[in-house]
Amino acid sequence: MQKIPVTILTGYLGAGKTTLLNRILSEPHGRRFAVIVNEFGEIGIDGDLVVGADEEIFETNNGCICCTVRGDLIRIIQGLLKRRNAFDGILVETTGLADPGPVVQTFYMDDEIALRTRLDSVVTVVDAKHLLDGFAHNREAQEQAAFADLILVNKTDLVDSGRLAEVELRVRALNPFATIRRTERCGIALAEVLDRRAFDLDRILAEDPEFLDDHHGHHHEHEHHHDDDIQSLSLTVERPVDAERFDAWLRGVAQEKGPDLLRYKGIVAVGGGDWKIVVQGVHMLIDRGEPEPWRDGEKPWSRLVFIGRKLDGAALRDGFASCAA
Amino acid sequence: MRGVSGTPALFALDATPAGIAFDGKGERLAVGLGDGTVRIVPVRGPARGGDPLTVAAHDGAVLHLRADGDGFLSGGDDGRLLRVGRDGGAETLLHVPGRWIDALAVNGGAWAAATGKTVHGLGAPLDHPSTVGALAFDPAGGRLAVAHYGGVTVWPVGGGEPQRLEWKGSHIAVSWSPDGRFVVAAAQDNELHAWRIADGTAMQMAGYGTKTRSLSWGAGGKYLATSGADGVVLWSFAGDGPFGKPPMELGPERKVLVTAVACHPREALIAYGYRDGQVSLIGFDDRPPVDLLPADGEPVAGVAWSADGGWLAAAGEGGRVALWRRGGGLMERVKGWLRGA
Ligand SMILES: [Zn+2]
């Protein structure tokens, strides 16, 4: 069964995500999209198949606050799949205040949706002028950037280059694995937005040369920030790890800290260093690949990046190090 | 019908089936499709052998289809509920612009349909705390069960205070036992919840691999067959119901999830379809199933018996529809098999 790609578009109020949405819909790429929007009627959407959604967040029966899905999306996507011949992809526009977590988890936790769709990426539009202020005051603005695979720093024409550099540094510190692009009026080649396959385990490395680069993350945890601020943490072990011990440790971290972990990705060397395992996660959900040989040019290091709140750097670093074989 | 004994008549439709049903007399089979049409196949009676009728019913997709006397009710994502007659004529019963018909139930000429949190069809619209996932009239037609987040609300059709049956989680399918003593609802969390109406006692029926979407009562209402596991999960509702009794698992050996089940209206026989498209028949016992239709990679969307049990139909998400008739080799073979021959 052909899985239909899904792109999630997020962004704080006024950042320009509807501009991006209309750009995707109006450019001559020959593709047909079904669009799920939350802010019906605010700005016109140009597509043929546009469905309004009322955010309904459902807890699952484990009672955990982070193990939630969007019931409205499940229902709407199941309905849309009845006319699956009418479109090639699904675009989900969230509200400016939406937490992307339940949206992302819907595509993993609902078995029927996972069978028929493939989450391609989370694209977040941020406003270069208001981002620093937004990050300081809005939990959701940070969350949306933290969940992103692609971040458009939009409205670059409204700020000077010093401010822009500051904004990018802040975004990079919060999310070390997103691709960042500067845009005016969301002007970006659609090839960069669509078909990113950001949730494919085998694309984690290929798509992300910065991921194995050791420059990000470390400096940030020493900065002052509020308790509730999202931060990122990069961990490295320059020796192979024991696969079973690593699995057990990561599962334990996810179980214990799941609500505070937004996204994480890792590539670890196993089997004496000849093999690698790729993992990614959202809250308590862990997606782990099978062991496979390293590709040419890859450094056989064990590397893990967490994006989350209240990350205990020392405990996580010690825990990861204790997985060394 | 060119369908011959033992082998089904096969139709390849160019859209995704949302519902499949025989009319009350078993003269016509209808399939509601994602392209907004309802296709009506004459099965027997004067029109038998004629071409399937295509009714352009909805501006969008059919989401729900039910038999209603000698015709059908169809609910679409254009917010319309239609009655489609045997001649293909369509009459609008409800139109809520900008919404979808999210759930539909029919009973002896009465209907109820949900758009979002609201149920229409029982006098004044009835509102619920969350989007309605499913609707079911009790067999006597006096009560309507409304499944939603947090449980099921049971409304007296004639008006009055509802009974609230509570269980955490989102409920997506609901059914009454034929004796009206139990309500069973399927939840998003891969489990069922059953309530004894007399005292509201609830129980959890867990162990499924995916959501249960299909519930069918067999053997005069003594058993409930369910989809959502490898093989058919059959719960006994004889006596006090399934409280404290494990279910039977019929035909789990294929290790493929079952997506649709339909109990024969009289005999101890269940037709069911798998996620990979295979359709099979099994009894209420340990004998291996009879395979009716090979897998084609597309989940079975629905399986239905005609009211007299003489015809069986199945529809797959890829548009494959199969129709078998009794009296042919296959049904004879099944009857022989049932007798242990
Ligand atoms: Zn959780």
Question: Taking CB atoms and an 8 Å cut-off, how many pairs form between chains A and B?
Answer: 72
Residue A5 has, within 13 A of its CA and on its CB side, a CA count of: 17
Those residues with Cβ within 8 angstroms of residue B161's Cβ, 6 or more apart along the chain or in another chain? none
* Residues B317, B96, B319: CA angle, nearest 5 degrees: 10
With CB atoms and an 8 Å threshold, state whether B15 touches A85: yes
Banded pLDDT at B240 (limits 50, 70, 90): confident
**What per-residue string of b and e applies to A24-38 under the rule 16 or more CB within 10 Å gives b?**
bbeeeeeeebbbbbb
Contacts of A112 in chain B (CB under 8 A): 210-211
Mean pLDDT by 10 residues, chain A (325 residues): 93 90 90 86 70 88 89 96 93 90 96 96 96 89 95 96 95 93 95 93 60 47 62 91 96 96 94 91 96 85 93 96 93
Which helix H or strand E contains A27, and what residues bound it? none
Q: Which residue of B has its CA nearest to A41?
A: B98
With CB atoms and an 8 Å threshold, state whether A56 touches B131: yes
pTM of this prediction?
0.92
Contacts of B131 in chain A (CB under 8 A): 54, 56, 71-72, 75
pLDDT digits (tens, 9 = 90+) for B248-300: 999 899 999 999 999 999 989 999 999 999 999 999 887 889 899 999 999 99
pLDDT at A43: 60
Domains of chain A: 4-199 (3.40.50.300), 205-321 (3.30.1220.10)
Contacts of A54 in chain B (CB under 8 A): 116, 131
Integer Cα distance of A171 and A166 in angstroms? 9
Integer Cα distance of B202 and B77 in angstroms? 34
Q: Which residue of B has its CA nearest to A78?
A: B63
Overall residue count recorded for chain A in this entry: 325
Q: Which residue of A has its CA nearest to B76?
A: A79
pLDDT at A221: 44
pLDDT of residue B149 exceeding 90, the answer is yes
Query: B 115-134 residues with CB below 8 A of A?
Result: 116, 130-131, 133
Banded pLDDT at B235 (limits 50, 70, 90): very high
* CA B226 to centroid of ligand 1, rounded, Å: 29
ipTM of the complex: 0.91
Q: Tell me what percent of the residues of chain B surpass a pLDDT of 90.
A: 78
* CA A65 to centroid of ligand 1, rounded, Å: 6
SS3 A296: coil
Q: Which residue of A has its CA nearest to B103?
A: A75
Contacts of A59 in chain B (CB under 8 A): 168-169
Top residue of A4, A40, A61 to mutate, by most chain B CBs within 10 Å, is A61
